[in-house]
Amino acid sequence: MIRRLIYADMCRWWAWWLLAAAVAVRGEDVTYDGRSLIIDGQRKLLFSGSIHYPRSTPDMWPSLIRKAKEGGLHVIQTYTFWNLHEPQPGQYDFSGSKDIVRFVKEIQAQGLYACLRIGPYIEAEWTYGGFPFWLHDVPGIVFRSDNEPFKLYMQNYTAKIVNMMKSEGLYASQGGPIILSQIENEYQNIEAAFGEKGPSYVRWAAEMAVGLETGVPWDMCKQDDAPDPVINACNGMKCGEINFAPNSPNKPAIWTENWTSFIQVYGTNATLRSAEDIAYHVALFIARKNGSYINYYMYHGGTNFGRTAASFIITGYYDQAPLDEYGLLREPKYGHLKELHAAIKMCSQILLSGTPNNFSLGQSQQAYVFRGDSGACAAFLINSDGKQSAVVQFQNSSYELPRKSISILPDCKTVVFNTAKVNTQSNTRSMQPALKFDSAGQWEEFKEQVVEFDDTTIRADTLLEHMNTTKDVSDYLWYTLSLQQDSSDPKSAISVKSLGHVLHIFVNGELVGSAHGAFRNSSFTLESTVSLNEGMNNISLLSATVGLPDSGPYLEHSTLGPHKVTIEGSEGSQDLSNNSWGYQVGLLGEKLQIYTTKGSNVVQWKEFSSAQPLVWYKTFFDEPEGNDPLALNLGSMGKGEVWVNGQSIGRYWVSFRTLAGIPSQTWYNVPRSFLKPTGNLLILFEEEHGNPCNITLDTVSITSVCGHVTDSNPPFQIPWKRYARRPKVQLNCPPNRNISKILFASFGRPFGDCSAYAVGSCHSSNSRAIVEEACIGKRKCSISQSYKRFGGDPCPGIPKSLLVDVQCG
Q: What digits encode the pLDDT tens for the residues 656-714?
A: 999 999 999 999 999 999 999 999 999 999 999 999 999 999 999 999 999 999 987 76
SS3 at position 626? coil
Preceding omega of 501 cis (within 30 degrees of 0) = yes
| Calpha distance 411→370 (Å, rounded) | 10
The three-point CA angle 780-785-790 to 5° equals 100
> By percentage, how much of the chain surpasses pLDDT 70?
95
Averaged pLDDT score across all residues of the chain: 95
Closest of 498, 464, 500, 501 to residue 480, by C-alpha? 464
Closest of 590, 603, 698, 699 to residue 640, by C-alpha? 590
What does DSSP say about strands 253-259 and 231-236: parallel, antiparallel, or unpaired? parallel
Q: What is the pLDDT of residue 713?
A: 74
Closest of 560, 366, 546, 533 to residue 463, by C-alpha? 560
Contact present, 457 and 439 (Cβ < 8 Å)? no
**What pTM does this model have?**
0.95
CA-to-CA separations, 370 to 171, 288, 355, 768, in angstroms, rounded: 33, 11, 5, 46
pLDDT in tens, 202-225: 999 999 999 999 999 999 999 999
Q: What is the pLDDT of residue 27?
A: 82
Instruction: Tell me the one-letter amino acid at 129.
Output: G
Q: Give the torsion through C-alpha atoms of 496, 498, 503, 508, to 10 deg.
A: -30
CA-to-CA separations, 183 to 195, 225, 283, in angstroms, rounded: 20, 13, 27
Query: Residue 527 pLDDT > 90, yes or no?
Result: yes
| Calpha distance 302→280 (Å, rounded) | 25
| Calpha distance 720→705 (Å, rounded) | 31
Q: What is the pLDDT of residue 358?
A: 98
pLDDT in tens, 745-772: 999 999 999 999 999 999 999 999 999 9
Q: What is the pLDDT of residue 571?
A: 84
Contact present, 189 and 222 (Cβ < 8 Å)? yes
Query: Residue 22 pLDDT > 50, yes or no?
Result: no
Instruction: Please give the helix or strand (H or E) that residue 528 lies within, else none.
Output: strand 524-532
Closest of 721, 703, 702, 715 to residue 783, by C-alpha? 715
Backbone φ/ψ region at 527: left (φ over 0), alpha (ψ -120 to 50), beta: beta
CA-to-CA separations, 396 to 189, 393, 399, in angstroms, rounded: 47, 6, 10
Q: What is the pLDDT of residue 26?
A: 58
SS3 at position 601? coil
Computed from CA positions of residues 733, 737, 739, 741, in that sequence, does the dihedral angle turn out positive or negative?
A: negative
Contact present, 645 and 675 (Cβ < 8 Å)? yes
| Calpha distance 621→677 (Å, rounded) | 9
| Calpha distance 507→539 (Å, rounded) | 5
Question: In sequence order, which residues have a C-beta less than 8 Å from that of residue 329 and are 6 or more positions away?
Answer: 67, 322, 323, 335, 427, 702
Closest of 453, 294, 427 to residue 704, by C-alpha? 427
Known catalytic residues are 186, 257
SS3 at position 336? helix
Q: What is the pLDDT of residue 725?
A: 66
Q: What is the pLDDT of residue 719?
A: 58
Contact present, 640 and 686 (Cβ < 8 Å)? yes
Contact present, 121 and 129 (Cβ < 8 Å)? yes
Instruction: Tell me the one-letter amino acid at 249.
Output: P
| Calpha distance 104→165 (Å, rounded) | 9
SS3 content of the chain, % helix, strand, coil (to 5): 20, 35, 40
Binned at pLDDT 50, 70 and 90, residue 7 comes out as: very low
* Neighbouring C-beta atoms of residue 454, cutoff 10 Å: 10
| Calpha distance 790→699 (Å, rounded) | 37
Closest of 743, 759, 742, 741 to residue 751, by C-alpha? 759
Strand spans (E) along 61-155:
75-79, 113-119
Instruction: Please give the helix or strand (H or E) that residue 279 lies within, else none.
Output: helix 275-289
Binned at pLDDT 50, 70 and 90, residue 627 comes out as: very high
Mean pLDDT on 561-570: 96
| Calpha distance 371→359 (Å, rounded) | 14
pLDDT in tens, 52-97: 999 999 999 999 999 999 999 999 999 999 999 999 999 999 999 9
DSSP 18-73: HHHHHHHHS---EEE-SS-EEETTEEE-EEEEEE-GGGS-TTTHHHHHHHHHHTT-
Closest of 588, 589, 638 to residue 618, by C-alpha? 589
Instruction: Tell me the one-letter amino acid at 24.
Output: A
The length of the chain is 809
| Calpha distance 721→642 (Å, rounded) | 56
pLDDT in tens, 284-340: 999 999 999 999 999 999 999 999 999 999 999 999 999 999 999 999 999 999 999
Question: In sequence order, which residues have a C-beta less than 8 Å from that of residue 634 and are 6 or more positions away?
Answer: 642, 652, 654, 666, 667, 668, 690, 695
